[in-house]
Amino acid sequence: MNMINLTIDGIAVSVPAGTTILEAAKAAGIRIPTLCYLKDINEIGACRMCVVDAGGRALAAACVVPVSEGMNVKTNTPAVREARKVNLELILSNHDKKCLSCVRSTNCELQALCVEYGVEDENRYQGDITAHEIDEISPSIVRNNLKCVLCRRCVAVCSKVQNVGVIGPVYRGFKTSIECAWGESLADAPCINCGQCIAVCPTAALTEKDDTQKVFAALADPDKYVVVQTAPAVRAALGEEFGIPMGTSVTGKMVTALRRMHFDKVFDTDFAADLTIMEEATELVNRVKNGGVLPMITSCSPGWIKYCETYYPEFLPNLSTCKSPHEMEGALIKSYFAEKEGIDPAKIYVVSVMPCTAKKFECQRPEMGQGAMKDVDVVITTAELARMIKQSGIDFAALPDGDFDKLMGESTGAAVIFGATGGVMEAALRTAYEVITGKTLEDVNFTQVRGLGDCEVKEASLDLDGLKVNVAVAHSTGMASKLLDMVKSGEKDYTFIEVMGCPGGCVNGGGQPHVSPAEREKNDPRILRAKALYDEDAGKSIRKSHENPEIKQIYKDYLGEPNSHKAHELLHTTYTVREKYV
């Protein structure tokens, strides 16, 4: 390997040829500030915050300039600091500076840099402000170009990672803005509502649609019986909003906080994850035995479902007909639970706490309900729940652990791993093995489908007592498109496919607490949050969905058996072919 020797701030550094100054500085433990940079995704030198003195006549953008032999780089000269400050002042000169009430205040990368470089609200470049309308028509995402810094991270992740590409820069110079084609709202564009643009936005130019006031209003309404359910991935990230280290499961504290907010019942969506496995594994076995459409593809991720409906409608027959877990749970809260408790289902208000902005879109789909009654009334994200807890004056970190309510709160280890890529596949295999073979599965860990797989499709070929099952796991819709193209071409032949719409799965959903790119390089939330879920799985006394006693009871008392007529009425759905740009 050809190595390049250089000096950065007096420190001798040796790195492979082709390394940028920014990466070389990181290797030497030297921090260079960035704003537009997103490793391997958006390395374009747009913001100029990373400028350094590399010995040339002009300052160099460290994120795009490669090192050269004998280069002497200075990252902290007066000229460098002044250039960075000027760049920040120019950005702020065309920025909505209502920081006190901004949802990203204290967790805004632009704000942090302004504090670091002593930039004031009023600066030497005050002048005209570009006028923008706030796009808040989408049920999932609010787009506020008044707060946009034109870093183009959202453009890169939407196109390169998700293979959607519905936003991009238009116009030039001072008038440049990030828009959908023809100036459309995100609601009218073929956006899949995944929220990965939110996850990478350094400011509040992209945020989730805030539905917290709807929940507060429901809690204050004496005529409403308010039931909350929480997704597996929420417990692995919520604590980060309260200073608890990333990768810590805060299940018990979360339950206690929800009780103190006066929800009438606190249920676990993990219960419905177990239920999903019963329905989905049975559906898979039926397809395999009866010549059904294969490969069967999971349907838990609404961003992925909308992507398939829009960009790969020919695969709709391959999708499992199962609703996602929180929609299943909502349907049963307003039927099974309502009957058991003698409550009028019209008075029940179901709140789902999800890591996912696409769930906001999903709960409004007409298929997700019984007649005029929706399965789930409102979805809030992990970040929204954190704001509600803070507004309620609850000291989250000091809370004791609580337990979910029974009837629909018991779950297994198979359910909690739904939040990580490969988790649905592994949970389904744990049950499918015993259904197909009639034997007890001693080792429930299907490690072949775990992990990020170096951002490539994970594959495994499993022998279920003589039945060969080829499986594949993809996370991000960009990866899913590559997988589906291989299936279409005949290059790959699978029995079962899991797709999660977000990179890393639900743990990295668009509604999770924001983690800056610099922090992500040190502590990858996809890995640490997933580990929290797998640790919880390992600590469960029951780790197979079909062994959950509450699941057994609901089939005995209400549903009959998996894939029964009643189960199909409440727990299964249909799909819609959607238009995309031509």
Count other C-beta atoms under 10 Å from residue 409's C-beta: 18
- Beta carbons within 10 angstroms of residue 211's beta carbon: 18
- Name the CA dihedral angle for 510, 515, 517, 519, rounded to a multiple of 10 degrees: -150
Q: How far is CA 530 from CA 225, 358, 411, 506, 507, in A?
A: 33, 20, 17, 9, 7
Domain 3-76: give its CATH architecture. Answer: Roll (3.10)
Q: Which residues contact 164 (CB under 8 A, 6 or more apart)?
A: 158, 190, 191, 192, 194, 307, 477
Question: Vertex 245, ends 244 and 246: CA angle to 5°?
Answer: 120
**Nearest Cα residue to 416 out of 531, 302, 257:** 531
CA distance 494 to 449: 14
Q: Where are the beta strands (DSSP E) in 439-479?
A: 458-464, 467-475
Q: Print pLDDT tens along the chain (582 aa).
A: 799 999 999 999 999 999 999 999 999 999 999 999 999 999 999 999 999 999 999 999 999 999 999 999 999 999 999 999 999 999 999 999 999 999 999 999 999 999 999 998 777 887 788 889 999 999 999 999 999 999 999 999 999 999 999 999 999 988 999 999 999 999 999 999 999 999 999 999 999 999 999 999 999 999 999 999 999 999 999 999 999 999 999 999 999 999 999 999 999 999 999 999 999 999 998 999 899 999 999 999 999 999 999 999 999 999 999 999 999 999 999 999 999 999 999 999 999 999 999 999 999 999 999 888 999 999 999 999 999 999 999 999 999 999 999 999 999 999 999 999 999 999 999 998 898 888 999 999 998 899 887 668 999 998 887 888 999 999 999 999 999 999 999 999 999 999 999 999 999 999 999 999 999 999 999 999 999 999 999 999 999 999 999 999 999 999 999 999 999 999 999 999 998 864
Q: Which of 546, 574, 513 is nearest to 207 (CA)?
A: 513
**pLDDT tens, position by position, 56-92:** 999 999 999 999 999 999 999 999 999 999 999 999 9
Residue intervals of the chain classified under CATH 3.30.70.20 are: 123-206
Residues whose CB is less than 8 angstroms from the CB of residue 54 and which lie 6 or more positions away in sequence, other chains included = 21, 60, 62, 65, 71, 72, 73
Q: What is the pTM of this model?
A: 0.95
* Strands of 467-475's sheet in order across: 296-297, 496-500, 467-475, 458-464
83 and 91 Cβ atoms separated by less than 8 Å: no
Sign of CA dihedral 554, 557, 562, 568: negative
List where CATH 3.40.50.1780 sits in the chain: 213-571
Contacts of 113 (CB under 8 A, 6+ apart): 33, 35, 49, 84, 88, 119
d(CA 167, CA 264): 41
Instruction: For residue 124, count CB atoms less than 10 angstroms from its CB and return exposed for 0-12, middle for 13-18, buried for 19 or more.
Output: exposed
Question: Which residues participate in catalysis according to the annotation?
Answer: 280, 283, 300, 320, 359, 362, 367, 506
CATH number of the domain located at residue range(s) 213-571 in this protein = 3.40.50.1780
Nearest Cα neighbor of 514 from 113, 197, 148 is: 197
CATH (residue range 123-206): 3.30.70.20
Enumerate the CATH 3.10.20.740 domain ranges in the chain, comma separated: 3-76
Which H helix or E strand runs over 364?
A: none
**In contact, 376 and 368? CB cutoff 8 Å:** yes
